[in-house]
Structure 1
Amino acid sequence: MTQANENVGFIGIGLMGQGMAKNIVEKGYPLTVIAHRNRAPVEDLVARGATEAKSMEEMASSCTLIFLCLTGSPEVAAAVAALKPGLAKGSVIVDCSTSDPTVTQRIAAELAEIGVDFADAPLSRTPKEAWEGTLDCMVGADDAVFARIEPVIATWAAKIVHIGGIGDGHRMKLLNNFISLGYAALYSEALALSRKVGIPIAEFDKVIRGGRMDCGFYQTFMGYALEGNREAHKFTLGNAYKDMRYVESMANAVTVTTTMSSAVKNAFALAMANGGDGPEDYVPHLSDFIAKANGIA
């Protein structure tokens, strides 16, 4: 299908989804969105040319390709169940959430029975890149489905990797998040230790920044830890904890030891258990919880 006859739906217009949806409609695709709790993103997208669906079934019946950008597998399964009665044979659902690969494969099998394709296309980077249309995306899909969805994904992603079949996008996303969230846990402990031995964060940063240990994730993390910008990396501690539980589950299923991933998960569990479960508690704020656990105000 082309832009002229591919009708795109988008469910989950939150921190990441709003920017992604903005790029889809501004780059020429007919777009349908649906409200959840916050009407502001819906009103913004409608003003840009999108249509608002009144129900999930209405969206399913009017769209040929539907993107999901939700919290995790339970929310994805619920959304698919709500869409299912209205889905037409030949339509495609693309899950951009960070989800459990076993659930992804189960949903794909269920949809295949009614002639609907499913793909996993999780993201990397931040809401800033979502708005700019420069996200990274790793896709799990068969070749024909990938060829169909790639042009739409390209409206909001600058780097697209067809990683393999259904479920492989989510497997790779969990590996990606294991590394990034591992950095967060490592930085948080290193900063606590640095302060304990009398090296201020600003001096620590002078050594790391611009050296071999520097990277994009370090810079956004330090946007909070050093500069105090609470919105430097808007990915919640709750989502990080969920993702690390998925990583641990994936490792358990194939009998891989989880020495490092369980340690990272437990760092986020500590934050969650001590009040870091709010909607504006973001990954760089982990440094505060690790500092407090070590007696640093």
Structure 2
Amino acid sequence: MGDKPVIGFIGLGLMGHGMAKNIRKAGYELWVRGRSNRKPVESLLSMGASEAASPRDMAERCDIILICLSTSAQVEAVIGAEDGILAGARPGLIVIDTSTADPGSTAKLAAELASRGMHMVDAPLGRTPKEAEEGTLDAMVGCDDALFERVRPVIECWAGRITRTGAVGSGHKMKLLMNFIGMSYGALYSEAVTLGAKIGISPQMIREVIGPSRLGNGFFETFMRYVVDRDRDAHKFAISNAAKDLRYINNMAADAQVMSVMASAARHYYTHVEATGHGNDYVPMLSDHVAALNGIVMEDEVRKGAAPGEK
């Protein structure tokens, strides 16, 4: 491995597996810790990674630890629990949190790590599991200049576009703004296809007209690939995560004393779906739930709108 730092990776979900895989492919010594799903762990072990017994064990072995989890509460537990990173950490350790997190939590964790001679970097992700496997994610990185240069080679293993957003915490703020736009698109598109179905405009027609126009974008394309083509894997981002992000966004707006009518409105759709037990559905499936609230079965509307021979 030469002079390369030893890397740890916690959180081997839809995004984490691809990221960790690309770090290992770049020749870094890699220690991993997953969840109950053993498949991504075994995949990485087969590539020469090692499995840490706990976050504490990982901190005792590694120079840089990346975290890719669903919530700030999970990140806080991994860092601060009895067998967490802090319990085994030593001065100079760098923790890179790639989760979509609450910036308030990030600030507290960064201060705690700094008080013990360690460093925190926030580097949340853009794009999808497909790009994670390909090593072409977007990264929004919050840290100082010197630290950025130290972690950049590791981030380059899994990111094709890296933007330093400012001081620690700024990456998570930027990511929440990004997800505010994206999840609001999801709510808007769900209402639009539902209203269209009610007034006789098929989902296919909406895609045909909007897709090539100035209103089309990558999010619209993957969203409509589910609505029209019923491709369940078009955008693999769980509604439960979207609901969590919108809670963080509304909290961030409240802390900044900013009126957030759009963020509040978008949150209700995702919260409804999560509350009815469908949080594991992916974001484009929100369209089915909004349709159902209005007495519509979206799959039937797609079938009715299909050209002859396509039904």
Pairwise same-fold verdict (TM > 0.5): yes
> What residue in structure 1 maps to residue 44 of structure 2?
45
Question: Structure 1: how far apart are the matches of 2:277 and 2:88?
Answer: 41
Q: What's 1:77 paired with?
A: 76
**TM-score w.r.t. length of structure 2:** 0.92
Return the alpha-carbon distance in structure 2 between the equivalents of residues 40 and 67 of structure 1. 19
Gaps of 5+ in 1: none
- Indicate the residue corresponding to 1:171 in structure 2: 173
Q: Given the superposition, is the C-alpha separation of residues 130 and 160 from structure 1 closer, same or farther in structure 2, using an over 3 Å criterion? A: same
Q: How does 1:1-297 map to 2 (within 5 A)?
A: 4-81=3-80, 82-278=84-280, 281-297=281-297
| 1: CA distance, partners of 2:257 / 2:2 | 45
Q: Matched residues in 1 for 2:46 and 2:245: separation?
A: 34
The secondary structure found in structure 1 opposite 2:229 is: coil
SS in 2 for 1:9: strand
Deviation at 1:220, TM superposition (A): 1.1
SS at match of 2:91: coil
Tell me the amino acid that sits aligned with residue 106 of structure 1: K
Contact 1:3 1:28 in 2 (8 A): no
CA RMSD of aligned residues (A): 1.1
* Structure 1 residue 275 displacement after superposition: 2.7
For 1:224 and 1:236, locate their aligned partners in 2 and report how far apart those are by CA, in whole Å.
Answer: 14
Q: Residue 120 of structure 1 contacts residue 167 of structure 1 at CA under 8 Å; is this kept in 2?
A: yes
**Deviates most, 70-79 or 201-210:** 201-210
The size of the alignment, in residue pairs, is 294
| Cα distance in structure 2, aligned partners of 1:190 and 1:150 | 41
Asked if the contact 1:175/1:247 (under 8 Å) is kept, the reply is yes
- Larger Rg, first or second structure (1 or 2): 2
* Contact preservation (8 Å) 2:55, 2:79: no
Q: CA deviation at 1:120?
A: 0.5
| Normalised TM-score (structure 1) | 0.97
Q: How far apart are residue 54 of structure 1 and its match?
A: 1.8
Q: Is the 8 A contact 1:11 1:67 kept in 2?
A: yes
CA deviation after TM superposition for structure 1 residue 160, in Å: 0.5
CA distance in 2, matches of 1:169, 1:133: 19
* Letter matched to residue 75 of structure 2: V
Deviations along 1:11-34, whole A, 9 cap, x unmatched? 001000000001000011111101
Rounded to whole Å, the distance in 1 between the matches of 2:92 and 2:211 is 50
Report SS of the residue matched to 1:159. Answer: strand
Q: 2: distance between equivalents of 1:248 and 1:40?
A: 35
1:170 positional shift: 0.4
Could you list the structure 1 runs, at least 4 aligned residues long, displaced by more than 2 angstroms after superposition: 2-5
Matched position secondary structure for 2:117: coil
1:104 is matched by which residue type in structure 2? T
Matched residue SS, 1:268: helix
SS in 2 for 1:25: helix
